Structure formats: structure tokens, C-alpha cells
């Protein structure tokens, strides 16, 4: 791969990563240090997608919250094991439907589980997920975009079935984003809202999250 072909993060993606870091720190010093920024540049050079870093941040803080005495010092480099795990999962997915997919769908809450359109959207997403080429493939980015869009389609349909729960979930998320000092209506707000909203909808219905 030529140097000119290497993926670079946009200003918005850098801001998104920093905003997600602040979102999970809950009022602690949320600015990225020079070491943190250097780590991001390292991942950028390794072609790690920005959304994968955000997912890794989420997983790191989920693991940290379960520890009885978590370390007081937090650095972005601490999410490296989560980065490695997600990368390994994405590249290790085989190309065929497995019994694990059926098990995952059986865990989805009713009435969405019995909805034929929801199940069809799930199967489309899983097919694209399991057909993902390696990160070195020239068609990886295009395949990645298609897989991400198919998951958005599934979440979009699932949220239509939230009923009265939709508004309370939206209010809860908006308050959390405001506490992270995100500016409502800004590109970073929109991106962060979409990411966390997708997670909330998935958690509500017990849908599997994107790896």
C-alpha cells in the first residue's frame, strides 16, 4: 500500500475520539495528552478505523467499571487490548453463517425477535459481517461501509418499535452528552449521539453490537 493511500482521520474524527474520551471520564480531566495524541497517530498509521477506537473506549470503560479498585491513572494507551481484541474479531470472522448467529437472534427480545423484517435485516447484516475481507484488501473500506450501513438499517428499524420507551432513552442520552460538554447540533454531537443511540437501541432489544 502506498503512503498516499494510507487512511487519515478527519478533524471531525479526532474531535469524536476526544469527545468519547470525555463522555466516559464523567467530569475528570478529559483533554488528550501529548502521549494520547501520539497513540492516536500510531493507530492512524496502522489503519485502525476511528469508529473502532470509539468502540474500544466503550469496552475499556465497561471493563473498568466492573473492577473493585480500578487504577486512578487513565491513559488512552490502556485501550490497546480492546483495540487488539476487536481487530482480531473482525479479521477472524469466517464467511459462513454459524449456529452462533442463530443463538444471538434467539436472545433478542420479543416482539422484535418474531418480526420477519427485523430478522431479515439481521441476516443481511450478518452476511456482510461474515463476508468482510481482511484489512489489507483493496475493497476493505467499501465492504466496511456496507456492513456498517446494514447495521444502521437494523437499528433504524428496531428503534421504530421502541414505542413509549424512545423518548425516555433520548432524554437520558442527551443529558449524558451535555454533561460531557458536547455542543448540541455540532458534527461531533451528531456523531456521538448516533453512536450511543445505536448502543442504547441494541441494548434495549438485546441485539448484538458491532464488533
The pLDDT tens digits for 8-46 are 788 888 888 988 888 887 655 556 788 998 999 999 988
Angle CA(38)–CA(40)–CA(46) in degrees, nearest 5?
110
In this prediction the pTM is 0.60
- Same domain for 86 and 105, yes or no, is no
What residue has cell string 450501513? 149
* Start-to-end C-alpha separation, the chain: 25
pLDDT tens track for 67-79:
888 777 888 999 9
Q: Residue 129 and residue 97: Cα distance in Å, rounded?
A: 10
Residue 211 belongs to some domain of the structure: no
Domain end (from 73, 91, 109): 91
The domain of 64 spans 3-91
60 and 87 co-located in one domain: yes
Q: Which of 58, 91, 124 is the last residue of a domain?
A: 91
Per the CB < 8 A criterion, the answer to whether 201 and 155 are in contact is yes
The answer to whether 50 and 141 have CB atoms below 8 angstroms apart is no
Amino acid at each position: 500500500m502506498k503512503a498516499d493511500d494510507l487512511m487519515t482521520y478527519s478533524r471531525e474524527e479526532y474531535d469524536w475520539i476526544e469527545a468519547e474520551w470525555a463522555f466516559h471520564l464523567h467530569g475528570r480531566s478529559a483533554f488528550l495528552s501529548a502521549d494520547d495524541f501520539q497513540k492516536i497517530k500510531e493507530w492512524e498509521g496502522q489503519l485502525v478505523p476511528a469508529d473502532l477506537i470509539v468502540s474500544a473506549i466503550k469496552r475499556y470503560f465497561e471493563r473498568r467499571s466492573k473492577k473493585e479498585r480500578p487504577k486512578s491513572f487513565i491513559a488512552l494507551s490502556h485501550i490497546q487490548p480492546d483495540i487488539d481484541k476487536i481487530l482480531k474479531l473482525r479479521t477472524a470472522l469466517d464467511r459462513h453463517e454459524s449456529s452462533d448467529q442463530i443463538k444471538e437472534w434467539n436472545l433478542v427480545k420479543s416482539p422484535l425477535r418474531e418480526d420477519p423484517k427485523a430478522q431479515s435485516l439481521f441476516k443481511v447484516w450478518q452476511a456482510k459481517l461474515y463476508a468482510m475481507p481482511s484489512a489489507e484488501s483493496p475493497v476493505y473500506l467499501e465492504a466496511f461501509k456496507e456492513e456498517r450501513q446494514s447495521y444502521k438499517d437494523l437499528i433504524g428499524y428496531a428503534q421504530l418499535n421502541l414505542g413509549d420507551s424512545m423518548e425516555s432513552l433520548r432524554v437520558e442520552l442527551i443529558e449524558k452528552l451535555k454533561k460531557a460538554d458536547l455542543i448540541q447540533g455540532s458534527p461531533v454531537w451528531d456523531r456521538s449521539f448516533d453512536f450511543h443511540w445505536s448502543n442504547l437501541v441494541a441494548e434495549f432489544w438485546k441485539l448484538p453490537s458491532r464488533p
